[in-house]
Amino acid sequence: MPDQREEPVRDPSAVELFAGGGGLAMAVHRAGFRPLLFNEYARRACETLASNGAQRVPVEGSPWIPEPGEACPLIEGDVRDVEFGYLGGRVDVLAGGPPCQPFSLGGVAKGDEDERNMFPQMFRAIREMRPKAVICENVRGLLRPSFKPYFDYILREMELPFEERAGDTTWQEHDAVLRERILERSEDLSRRYQVVMTPVNAADYGVPQIRQRIIIVAFRADLEVNLERFRRLIEPKFSEAALIHSMVDGDYWDRHNVSNSTRERVLERLPSVLPLADGKRPWRTLRDAIAGIEGIEGCEKPLPPIPPEWLDRQEHYLGGFTDHVGWPNARIYAGHTPNVLDRPAKTVKAGVHGVPGGESVMLLDDGTHRYMSVRETARVMTFPDDWKLQGPRGEKMRQLGNAVPVVLGEVFAKAVADTLRDAEYGS
């Protein structure tokens, strides 16, 4: 009989575009995918990625395919200048959050007319790599009525990325073509993707932060994955109702050393009629994040308080933590209210001072308030304490505000890994 040799088993792999400060990249890596390439435009974010193990590709050099254990290559620069053909057939997951300014409520609201719209580059990367799955995170602004028709077009492009839009074609004309092609029977299912779009609140996934986003996941159609099982895997397991019940029952307070007056003040603000128990786990709060959360990798230890005399912009290495720096002159006024400790934090935004809504200010138990430290903000984004952020405070906060919370990304990345594994080996 001829010698029958098994094909070598290849590690599941991933590529991260628009990598930013590394939140989604870290989540995908934790889910078991070995990174083959990072790409990012912002200089400070690239410094962060490099300080955490990525290796810059020389300006005139070419990226390499790293061996297991080797540093992941980082291409610093415009994604439009990056060629991905060398990765064709080697990528299991393509992940990234294309710049969201065109669709953000805080942006200029130009939608598809904005040159910062990088979704076309995601589709180009799909064509050149042919990944088994795609994970894409973006803002809820995509669902606004004024953008919804264009967003539906984006989803159809994700479904048929090989139906490339001609340069002189409007998106409406291209959308009409896609609508027709979707109805046609395709013999080559490797050129089609099955798309699942999920609106999420990060707090529902164990992140100590209210953060409304959308996550788009696409699986190559020829893999015939079980989409219903994937949807079950990404069902949220945390709730506000469970947090309220844990406060009333006392379980929440058993974890925290607070005064009776603080406890009573919080309980007085709860609804007079309790929501129905739903069997989920309690939302995690800002107090939880600062005290340390068991089960969130790298965020288990308590952060020490910052004394008022150390609101001096100086690194005192409180408790050995870096970036736990006190910042002075925080203010509270109408429309600029602070985070409270016993709720998930407000959405972390890409700014430090002047951010509308007081998202970077926190109210303490004694009635005083101060700015959150970068380390506290990183905890709210579920970045581990040993993740090195580069740049001045404003740049570090910008990277965090633009990132995907690691725990949120991990839920979806692990669900993708399980779904692909089931499709390959059978569930």
d(C-alpha 211, C-alpha 293), whole Å:
18
Q: Is 310 helix (H, G, I), strand (E, B) or coil?
A: helix
Q: Vertex 24, ends 21 and 27: CA angle to 5°?
A: 120
The verdict on whether 100 is a catalytic residue reads: yes
DSSP state, residue 189: G
How would you write 62-87 as a 3-class SS string? CCCCCCCCCCCEEEECCHHHCCCHHH
Among residues 46, 100, 136, 299, the one annotated as catalytic is 100
Contacts of 24 (CB under 8 A, 6+ apart): 16, 95, 96, 97, 135, 137, 403, 404, 409, 413
Residue 403 CA: distances (Å) to CA of 101, 120, 260, 337, 380: 14, 20, 37, 23, 11
The residue whose two tokens read 């007079």 is 272
Axis-axis angle for helices 393-402, 43-51 (nearest 10): 90
Contacts of 145 (CB under 8 A, 6+ apart): none
Contacts of 120 (CB under 8 A, 6+ apart): 165
Q: Is 196 helix (H, G, I), strand (E, B) or coil?
A: strand
Contacts of 332 (CB under 8 A, 6+ apart): 338, 358, 361, 363, 369
Q: Is 91 helix (H, G, I), strand (E, B) or coil?
A: coil
One DSSP character per residue, 258-289 reads --HHHHHHHHHTS-SSPPPP-S-EEPP-HHHH
Q: Catalytic residue positions?
A: 100
